[in-house]
Amino acid sequence: MAAAVSNEERLFSLVLALLATETGLTKADILSSVQGYRQRYRANGGNASLERQFERDKEDIRDLGVPLESIELPADQGAVQYTRYRIPKGEYDLPADVTFTPQEIALLDLAALAWREGSLSGESRRALLKLRSLGIESEEPLIGFAPRLRARDAAFDPLQQAIERRRVVAFGYLKPGEDRVRRRRVAPLALVQFGGRWHVHGTDLGARDRRTFLLSRITGPVEETAETFEAPPGEPAEEARAGLRAVFAANRALLELTPDTDAAARLGSRGEPAGEGVVAVHFTDLALLADEVAAFGPEVLVREPPELVDAVRARLAAAAAAHGGGTGG
């Protein structure tokens, strides 16, 4: 029995395949030939779950900033099965005015090599060799795409497997502001990325309602149960994103940033000017924003909301106490 292909390896193989084609690949081409899909592809049909996987993978790739194109030829208008997909290499390559010194290239090569040797199977190494034989430079996708795919929570893979198998899962979840982990039983419907963080959207069987959970707040292992469920109609991924967008738009913080600091560079780029040295930053999770703001120390002063002021103050006080200092005046 062939070894299971990880999500990262499947996405990496998909990106390489879409970079290697100029005319594009149809969904059937991809499912029947790309590493991670072809092992489960059935030539006589019955590939509905695999097609759903491909749809999720397309969203993942686009969320990562990769320019994935869909092409419909005039003769095939309306025939979804003939839609072709590709990644325009000219849009994915580094800009022509970006250059590296020999020392910088050496460091990038070393980093790419460490990632490749540490995490890719023999199948993917052979894929790289095949692409080289076609005249495709594979080091740039390794540097620009692959390392970002590794930054996933441990809960991601078991949740994705449960979604594919339509299995209920159980896990511990720690809500912001609480100190007790609660056990959740969830019928997972979609994994979505929003604001650089992964979430799982599904039906909380205890609450009997749809919920979206932040993966980084899941504690301990995700346990797949024997209980199955039927997928409801609609687009659960888009439903989750719409909910997250609404929360993001409704939550706004005013932050006063010290000029020419790390905080000004990082937080300033995410916010909108709201006065001299002040930016308005939207957020979905107050606790996570408080963690981030507190890490900048005196470089940031929170103006509002009051809940964020209190949360940041509590974190700074805890840090001071942990290092033997006082809470200040």
When comparing pLDDT for 214 and 135, which is higher? 214
pLDDT for the residue numbered 116: 46
pLDDT band at 136 (very low <50, low <70, confident <90, very high): very low
Strand-pair partners of 25: 85
Residue 245 lies in a domain: no
Q: Contact 308/283 with Cβ under 8 angstroms? A: no
- Specify if 1 maps to a domain: no
Among the three residues 149, 184, 205, which one is the final residue of a domain in this structure? 149
Report if residue 292 sits inside a domain: yes
**Boundary-marking domain end, from 149, 181, 214:** 149
The CATH number for 272's domain is 3.30.70
pLDDT digits (tens, 9 = 90+) for 15-31: 888 888 888 899 999 99
Domain count, the chain: 3
Residues 199 and 295 in one domain: no
The side-by-side arrangement of strands in the sheet containing 218-228 is 209-214, 197-204, 182-194, 167-173, 218-228
- In this prediction, residue 214 has a pLDDT band, given cuts at 50, 70 and 90, of very high
> Per the domain annotation, does 26 fall within a domain?
yes
Write down the pTM of the prediction: 0.55
In a domain, 264, yes or no: yes
Span 31-60, average pLDDT: 87
Dist CA 42 CA 141 (whole Å): 29
In a domain, 246, yes or no: no
Q: What is the CA radius of gyration of the chain?
A: 23
Task: Tell me: do 126 and 183 sit in the same domain.
Answer: no
Quote the mean pLDDT of the chain: 80
Domain match, 79 and 208 both? no
Q: Assess whether pLDDT exceeds 70 at residue 224.
A: yes
Highest mean pLDDT among 47-56, 119-128, 297-306: 297-306
Chain segment 57-106, per-residue pLDDT in tens: 888 888 777 888 888 766 555 566 778 999 887 777 666 676 666 666 55
Q: How confident is the model at residue 305 (pLDDT cuts 50, 70, 90)?
A: very high
Quickly state the pLDDT bin for 255 (edges 50, 70, 90). Answer: very high
Lowest mean pLDDT among 34-43, 44-53, 65-74, 226-235: 65-74
Q: Which domain does 167 fall in, by range?
A: 156-240
Dihedral, 114, 116, 118, 119 alpha carbons, nearest 10: 150
Q: Are residues 133 and 195 in the same domain?
A: no
